[in-house]
Structure 1
């Protein structure tokens, strides 16, 4: 009787080799972190370099899987997808930010329309000056001073007279008009009235002239009166 024949024990099968793909793991981790940062406003700017690095590492990992030097194919593809999603989120955030800035600028420009600059010209307040009171003949009183007198009996007298003029107004009133001429008439001359003119400025000084008249007798007292006044 022949004993049964058993094949020699070949031992336990070898365990599978661990996946070798460091680029795949790195690309997945970096891509996930970048995608998380991409959804956070302002901080999302940090996601840009992370998702780009995730794409690069994941792409290298997939290339190594195709060459047979790496075995972690699923994780490499996942890293590529996550990094691409993160990059898309970054692009969306940039577009949304630019749109918000543009809308804000349009709103401000509509609320504050540009108006041309206006030129302000100063105008001095109008001043009204009251003209001085005009000089009139009633402002003067006049008398006659006898400088010399010579009588000839019934033939009458020869007199040299000069006017004494007094101005009743103010000095400013007359000087505002310049020089005034005062025309006056002397009565008592036997040959008729004598018209003379004196010139005054300032109401205190007058340029006068002496006048020779002849009276009918020694009892006649010549008089003078202002006829008109003209100022220039």
Structure 2
């Protein structure tokens, strides 16, 4: 028989965990989008030294390394390595934000690339035929159209970050998963606190998913007018 009588006393702990989870997710998606945009620009940079394009190589290596290693490992490396390697004593919250943003940026850069590549190449050719430079045609013609492809995918990345933020609990960040562990330790109830955390995660991701679906439908309907 399930027991949820602990909620009356411990609900504030779960609600605080929800707030921290949302805080981590919002900050990391913003930082990840900004850094991911920079990575995209680096990967498409024409700057070269001889035949070598250093910015493109650095961005490509970064993306492959980040995508090829677990986020949990990245969180632990930032949390432990910042003090050992750089002498910077980061808080658990800051370490989690940096690690998740660093991870998200690698995926956002690929989202931006895919969104831009989805725009008909004829748009670029038409802009160039009118005498526009590559950067001007990208800024005025390609990017405005690509945004409609990029925004829904960025929203899906937001949903993924909400779930992945649970890994921050391993370094003591008081997000939703950590809140469930606190309640487990205080009540000696193992399953029910996890079920409550699961319900909160579902509410967050389901609500955001429906909101993103609404925004995407509005964007598509605006294209038909």
The answer to whether the superposition gives a TM-score over 0.5 is no
**Which protein has the larger Cα radius of gyration, Structure 1 or Structure 2?**
1
TM-score by length of 2: 0.22
More helix by share: 2
TM-score by length of 1: 0.22
Bigger relative contact order, structure 1 or 2 (CA pairs below 8 A, ≥6 apart): 2
